[in-house]
Amino acid sequence: MTFIYYLIMAFSGLLSGATAVLFGFGGGFLMVPLLFAMNSSRYGSETLLGKESIHIAVATSTCVMIVNACVATYKHHRKGNLLRSYIYSLASYIGIGSMAGVALTSFAPSDVVRYGFIIYLVLTISDCLLRSGFVSPSSTAEHRPLSKPQKIIGGLSTGLIAGFLGVGGSVLTVPLLRRQGLTMSQATALASPLSLPVAIVGSFSYALLDLYRPISIGPGYIGYIEITSFFVLSIGSTLGVFISSKYIGRLHDKTHAWTYLTMLIIVLAVMMV
């Protein structure tokens, strides 16, 4: 049973690496529901590990996101897709927001984190479908710079939500950058380096929980981070990035946008089961 568990982990890591490089997902949108569902099933809802499943899923996913984001950023840099001015505009605000997000999720009940994740997805999908500028962006090729309020509000809110839910924040940054006139390839490429502040702050914070958390989860964990799952997912995700990177820029822009939304809807369905 354990072998099957980690085999599924490896395949999921492969898939998360592919989505990281092609859609900007740091892996959280796949790994959080997966780890939550598998650990809940594996340990039962009445055990300590079962009760902490969502926190373990968020923390482990956040740590794997460092690997995904670094490798995907390298690949996009080689392809020339990174518009650095947008990175400099948002990264520091995202990092600050993520500190608050991680602090909140450390003390939030598991159900709050889970339903927060669901609400976040519903609002994002609705916004992309109902408000113009995502599926079919402006016809102008000009890239519009972010305004000061967009940098501050967009960066802080991205960091806060991403840190709280253990995701990379691409579901906020991609629509935001899309509406600034960027193609899907450019917007999703920027999601990888912009996920790094969340991943680094979050992983460090979740690891530190081991110093003051009153109830120890057990061996094989650093704070809420499950070490074996981290390594299995990281190996799979690195392979996924390298395998799928040859498709960077090959997807038609509108197809790319609709595929992005379809994946969000699938993840939402998994979390609601």
Spell out where 223-271 has E strands: 225-226
The Cα–Cα gap between 244 and 238 comes to 10
**Structure token digits, residue 227:** 């070490």
Report CA-CA distances (Å) from 32 to 29, 60, 194, 255: 6, 8, 19, 26
The Cα–Cα gap between 268 and 273 comes to 9
The tens digit of pLDDT for each residue in 120-145 reads 788 888 888 887 777 776 555 577 88
Cα 242 from chain centroid (whole Å):
18
**Residue-level pLDDT at 1:** 57
Q: Which of 86, 82, 33, 81 is nearest to 60 (CA)?
A: 33
Q: Mean pLDDT across the stretch 79-98? A: 88
Whether pTM exceeds 0.85: no
Q: Which of 15, 12, 57, 61 is nearest to 36 (CA)?
A: 57
Task: Determine which of 95-104, 175-184, 214-223 has the lowest per-residue pLDDT on average.
Answer: 214-223
**Structure token digits, residue 9:** 């982990």
Q: Mean pLDDT across the stretch 249-253? A: 81
- Residue 47 has phi, psi (to 5 degrees) of -80, 165
When divided into structural domains, the chain yields a total of: 1
Confidence of residue 269 (pLDDT cuts 50, 70, 90): confident
Give the range of the structural domain holding residue 23, as residue numbers without chain letter.
2-272
Largest CA distance in the chain: 56
Confidence of residue 215 (pLDDT cuts 50, 70, 90): low
By three-state DSSP, how is residue 216 classified? Answer: coil
DSSP state of 219: T
By three-state DSSP, how is residue 221 classified? Answer: strand
- Give me the torsion for CA of 227, 240, 69, 248, rounded to 10°: -170
By three-state DSSP, how is residue 179 classified? Answer: coil
